[in-house]
């Protein structure tokens, strides 16, 4: 091992050559440390494909750094001396090299950030934690934006980000005369709608070795590795981005809320895992999508909707996370307490939409955003599932999930567990919404038109029961006034039948 004066630690979601921790890495005086550790792989029970994707991408990135002339000390999971924690590996590297300082880019999760704050004292050397400038809004800038605001609505943050970064603007005005074209992006699926075939990357020796390692050490985790297809280098991620921009983006807007049985991807980009791991840079993705509209290669509703997910939602949820933590993780505004049903891990249910969304998750470590929000998330909220269990599930099973992005989206948007910090109302919906936006219901044993009885869609009774049991906390919300008025107009006998059916559903969650 080289005798460096400084160790540059690179985390598994920091696989960017422009990373701030690598900005001044010197082949003569620096050692880059990367480590596969059980502490990070098992703090939740991560999907096999997620672990394999990150370990393979890390190993490929280490090789790229070596090709640039840097000295990299890469610790594999099976290294007999592996301390199985990041701090433990820093202790070992400092002892073996005699390095006198550590530099790292700020991490994406509170639990690790808390640990990092004690590293300088624990390690006995200076530890410089640098800003992650791959994001387009610093945490300090977000704090400044939210000052004095009673409501932290993403839409207004997004508009400010568009102005700050000069995205989709003509002068000082939004192109097309509107900031948001979401109303045009809610088409139900046309009959026979199918997405294009996606790229499946060949597995080289590094990836094959990782797949064997994951199968051996994480056999009890969700998923199968048989159909592993992820990009594991920036070049491969670029191929997927280019396919999306060329072939898929033009249709993304129209059908971004549609759900189709057997179509896990439809017209979604699949680049979130690569952006969040550092293989793609968000500003580059935004600029290239923007160019697709200016050059007439994609319609504005598609381009604006896609950019909003990155420049708006991605930056916004990160800001919410870092300015609300650590208390945010413990919020439970609706006092939900039921345990997570086993169907979230097995997909064993007669509800076709849940079976499809969870089945896609098991198979691909992926489910697109409307399935996460309006199927698995909506059901968990309606059923009153403990937010901590739901959030842990979302963090574990998706390849793009890190707590900074998962927690606000799940707790705030899907579950309304933060009481409206993020969302102006709960995203609650009955089976009628799922029937309108998908083709799941046609093949389901449950009927979305029925609210009670053995063939009734469980979403329907749970929807009304959710509103009823949360009347005290939700009835004054102006966006729910019409639904509460409808509930109050119902015949009391019908209300009672709905309550009884909902109770029956809740008592048998693992048998529906």
Task: Annotate 384-416 with three-state secondary structure.
Answer: CECHHHHHHHHHHHCCCCCHHHHHHHHHHHHCC
151, 108, 112, 110: which is closest to 131 by C-alpha? Answer: 108
Give the chain's domains with CATH numbers. Answer: 6-130 (3.40.50.620), 139-201+219-324 (1.25.40.80), 343-511 (1.10.579.10)
Three-state DSSP state, 212: helix
Alpha helices (H) along 308-351: 315-324, 343-346
Q: Is 44 exposed, middle or buried (0-12, 13-18, 19+ CB in 10 A)?
A: middle
User: Phi and psi of 406, rounded to 5°?
Assistant: -75, -45
In degrees, rounded to 5, the angle at the alpha carbon of residue 394 between the alpha carbons of residues 393 and 396 is 65
Torsion angle, CA of 157/167/279/97, rounded to 10 degrees? Answer: -70
Q: Which helix (H) or strand (E) holds 207?
A: helix 205-217
Helix axes 154-165, 315-324, angle to 10 degrees: 120
Written as tens digits, the pLDDT of the chain (512 aa) is 558 999 999 999 999 999 999 999 999 999 999 999 999 999 999 999 999 999 999 999 999 999 999 999 999 999 999 999 999 999 999 999 999 999 999 999 999 999 999 999 999 999 999 999 999 999 999 999 999 898 899 999 999 999 999 999 999 899 999 999 988 888 899 888 999 999 999 999 999 999 999 999 999 999 999 889 999 999 999 999 999 999 999 999 999 999 999 999 999 999 999 999 999 999 999 999 999 999 999 999 999 999 999 999 999 999 999 999 999 999 999 999 999 999 999 999 999 999 999 999 999 999 999 999 999 999 999 999 999 999 999 999 999 999 999 999 999 999 999 999 999 999 999 999 999 999 999 989 999 999 999 999 999 999 999 999 999 999 999 999 999 999 999 999 999 999 999 999 999 998 89
Q: Render 15-77 in DSSP notation, one character per residue.
A: --TT-GGGTT--TTTEEEEEE--HHHHTTTT--HHHHHHHHHHHHHHHHHHHHTT--EEEE-T
At 179 the pLDDT is 95
Cβ(105)–Cβ(20) below 8 Å = yes
At 190 the pLDDT is 87
Three-state DSSP state, 149: coil
In sequence order, what are the residues at sequence separation of 6 or more whose Cβ sits closer than 8 angstroms to the Cβ of residue 237? Answer: 231, 271, 274, 279, 280
At 185 the pLDDT is 84
Cβ(165)–Cβ(284) below 8 Å = no
CA 375/CA 2 separation, integer angstroms: 52
């Amino acid at each position: 091992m080289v005798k460096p004066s400084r160790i540059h630690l690179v985390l598994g979601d920091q696989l960017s050559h422009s990373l701030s921790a690598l900005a001044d890495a010197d082949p003569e005086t620096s050692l880059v440390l990367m480590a596969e550790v059980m502490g990070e792989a098992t703090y939740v029970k991560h999907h096999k494909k997620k672990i394999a994707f990150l370990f393979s991408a890390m190993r490929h990135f280490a090789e790229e750094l070596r090709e640039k002339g840097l000295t990299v000390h890469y610790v594999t999971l099976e290294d007999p001396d592996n301390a199985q924690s990041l701090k433990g590996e820093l202790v070992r590297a400092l002892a073996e090299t005699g390095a006198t300082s550590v530099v790292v880019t700020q991490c994406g999760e509170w639990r690790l950030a808390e640990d990092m704050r004690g590293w300088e004292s624990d390690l006995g050397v200076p530890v410089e934690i640098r800003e992650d400038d791959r994001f387009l809004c610093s945490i300090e800038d977000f704090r400044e934006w939210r000052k004095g605001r009673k409501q932290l609505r993403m839409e207004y943050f997004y508009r400010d980000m568009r102005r700050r970064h000069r995205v989709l603007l003509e002068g000082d005005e939004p192109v097309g005369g509107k900031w948001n074209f979401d109303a045009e992006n809610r088409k139900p699926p046309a009959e026979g709608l199918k997405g294009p075939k996606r790229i499946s990357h060949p597995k080289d020796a590094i990836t094959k070795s990782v797949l064997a390692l994951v199968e051996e050490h994480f056999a009890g985790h969700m998923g199968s590795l048989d159909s592993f297809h992820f990009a594991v280098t920036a070049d491969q991620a670029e191929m997927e981005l280019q396919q999306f921009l060329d072939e898929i983006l033009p249709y993304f807007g129209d059908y971004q809320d549609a759900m189709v049985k057997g179509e896990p991807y439809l017209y979604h980009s699949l680049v979130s895992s690569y952006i969040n791991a550092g293989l793609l840079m968000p500003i580059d993705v935004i600029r290239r999508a923007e160019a697709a509209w200016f050059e007439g290669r994609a319609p504005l509703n598609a381009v604006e909707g896609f950019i909003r997910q990155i420049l708006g939602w991605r930056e916004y949820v990160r800001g919410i996370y870092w300015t609300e933590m650590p208390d945010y993780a413990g919020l439970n505004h609706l006092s939900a307490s039921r345990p997570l049903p086993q169907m979230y891990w097995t997909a064993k249910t007669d509800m076709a939409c849940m079976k499809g969304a969870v089945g896609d998750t098991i198979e691909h470590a992926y489910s697109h955003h409307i399935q996460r929000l309006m199927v698995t998330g909506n059901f968990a909220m309606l059923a009153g599932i403990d937010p901590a269990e739901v959030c842990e599930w979302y963090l574990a099973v998706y390849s793009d999930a890190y707590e900074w992005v998962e927690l606000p989206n799940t707790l705030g948007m899907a579950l309304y567990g933060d009481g409206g910090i993020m969302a102006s109302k709960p995203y609650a919906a009955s089976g009628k919404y799922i029937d309108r936006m998908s083709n799941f219901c046609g093949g389901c044993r449950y009927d979305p038109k029925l609210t009670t009885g053995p063939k009734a869609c469980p979403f329907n009774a749970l929807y009304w029961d959710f509103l009823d049991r949360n009347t005290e906390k939700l009835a004054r919300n102006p966006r729910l006034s019409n639904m509460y008025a409808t509930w109050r107009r119902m015949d009391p006998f019908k209300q009672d039948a709905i309550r009884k059916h909902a109770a029956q559903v809740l008592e048998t969650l693992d048998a529906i």
